[in-house]
Amino acid sequence: MTAASLFRRSGGFEIVQMTAADCAEAAALHGTGFSRAWTDGEIGALLAQEPVFGFMARRPGKRARPGGFVLARLVEGEAEILTIAVRPKHRQSGIGWRLMGAVLRHLRSEGAQRLFLEVDEGNDAALALYRKIGFSKVAERAAYYNDGGGAKSAALVMRLDLG
Ligand SMILES: CC(C)(COP(=O)(O)OP(=O)(O)OC[C@H]1O[C@@H](n2cnc3c(N)ncnc32)[C@H](O)[C@@H]1OP(=O)(O)O)[C@@H](O)C(=O)NCCC(=O)NCCS
Quote the CA–CA distance of 121 and 118 in Å, as a whole number. Answer: 9
103 lines ligand 1 (CB under 6 A): no
For CA atoms 90, 94, 96, 102, the dihedral sign is: negative
> What's the pTM?
0.94
Question: Per-residue confidence of the chain (163 residues) as pLDDT tens digits?
Answer: 566 666 666 678 999 999 999 999 999 999 999 989 999 999 999 999 999 999 999 998 767 899 999 999 999 999 999 999 999 999 999 999 999 999 999 999 999 999 999 999 999 999 999 999 999 999 999 988 887 788 899 999 999 999 8
67 lines ligand 1 (CB under 6 A): no
What pLDDT sits at residue 54? 98
What pLDDT sits at residue 3? 63
State the closest ligand 1 atom to the C-alpha of 95, by its place in the atom list counted from 1. Answer: 7
- Measured in angstroms, how far is the CA atom of residue 129 from the centroid of ligand 1? 5
Give, for ligand 1, the residue of 56, 91, 117 to mutate: max count of ligand atoms closer than 8 Å to Cβ. Answer: 91
Strand partners, 151: none
32 lines ligand 1 (CB under 6 A): no
91 lines ligand 1 (CB under 6 A): yes
What pLDDT sits at residue 110? 97
Strand partners, 36: none
For CA atoms 115, 118, 123, 124, the dihedral sign is: positive
Quote the CA–CA distance of 76 and 63 in Å, as a whole number. Answer: 37
What pLDDT sits at residue 149? 80
Strand partners, 48: none
Per-residue pLDDT of 103-148, as tens digits, reads 999 999 999 999 999 999 999 999 999 999 999 999 999 988 887 7
115 lines ligand 1 (CB under 6 A): no
State the closest ligand 1 atom to the C-alpha of 117, by its place in the atom list counted from 1. Answer: 48
Three-state secondary structure of the chain: CCHHHHHHHCCCCEEEECCHHHHHHHHHHHHCCCCCCCCHHHHHHHHCCCCEEEEEEECCCCCCCCCEEEEEEEECCEEEEEEEEECHHHCCCCHHHHHHHHHHHHHHHCCCCEEEEEEECCCHHHHHHHHHHCCEEEEEEEEEEECCCCCEEEEEEEEEECC
Quote the CA–CA distance of 93 and 27 in Å, as a whole number. Answer: 21
Is the distance from CB of 75 to CB of 20 less than 8 angstroms? no
What pLDDT sits at residue 9? 66
**Which domains does the chain carry?**
7-116 (3.40.630.30)
What pLDDT sits at residue 5? 60
